[in-house]
Amino acid sequence: MATKAEQRDRTRAEIVRIATRSFAESGYAGVALEDLVAEAGLTRGALYHHFGNKQGLFRAVVEQAQAGVAEAVEHAASGHDDVLDDFLAGCRAFLEASLAPEVRRILLVDGPAVLGWDAWRDGDLDTSARHLDAGVAELVEAGVIEDRELDTVTALLSGALNEVALVNARAHDPERGIDAAVDMVRRMLRGLAPARGT
């Protein structure tokens, strides 16, 4: 017999599952809470109890999507013989994960608009951006890039990867776009290599 806490967690997870699909298909503005609660077999009051309002529900969906992408990046960016290969594999994993509608629409399009840039960025800093920062630090430690202007380096990489993810989501051949982006990141990082003799 499930405890009340387990039932609450299951209910919450089911609402987030249904909402994720709905937000991915219709966008934030196109989703009506009445439809969500009807599909979940709940009352509107139950949804408000768990999430407060529609934006609170969307925030939970965004947080789950951010955590899923971060997990994919972390898994991909380990186990290679070379730290640069780990880093590039993480970049590739981010771009591949971003092809999923729930990631592109929810995270990259509606997320910043609905939650506001600062709130969306805070969530990103706790997940994917944290891995990006750690990866850049590992590149410095391994001597792949110089220990200079690292905040700018990570900001450039983050912005470029997010933009490529948006473009690839509408591209005829997204895999080709991913290959090109990863190659460009590799070439950019080569340009940040420490000068010889230093």
Cα torsion through 177, 155, 66, 36, rounded to 10 = -90
Burial (CB count within 10 angstroms: exposed 0-12, middle 13-18, buried 19+), residue 150: middle
pTM, to two decimals: 0.84
Q: What is the pLDDT of residues 46-60, one digit of tens each?
A: 888 889 999 999 999
Q: What is the pLDDT, as a whole number, of residue 161? A: 92
Cα 120 to Cα 55: distance, rounded to the nearest angstrom: 12
- Given a cut of 70, whether residue 1 has pLDDT beyond it is no
* Residue 98: DSSP 8-state: T
Q: What is the pLDDT of residues 108-117, one digit of tens each?
A: 889 989 999 8
* Percent of the chain clearing pLDDT 90 (strictly above): 51
Q: What is the pLDDT of residues 131-159, one digit of tens each?
A: 899 999 999 999 999 998 999 999 999 98
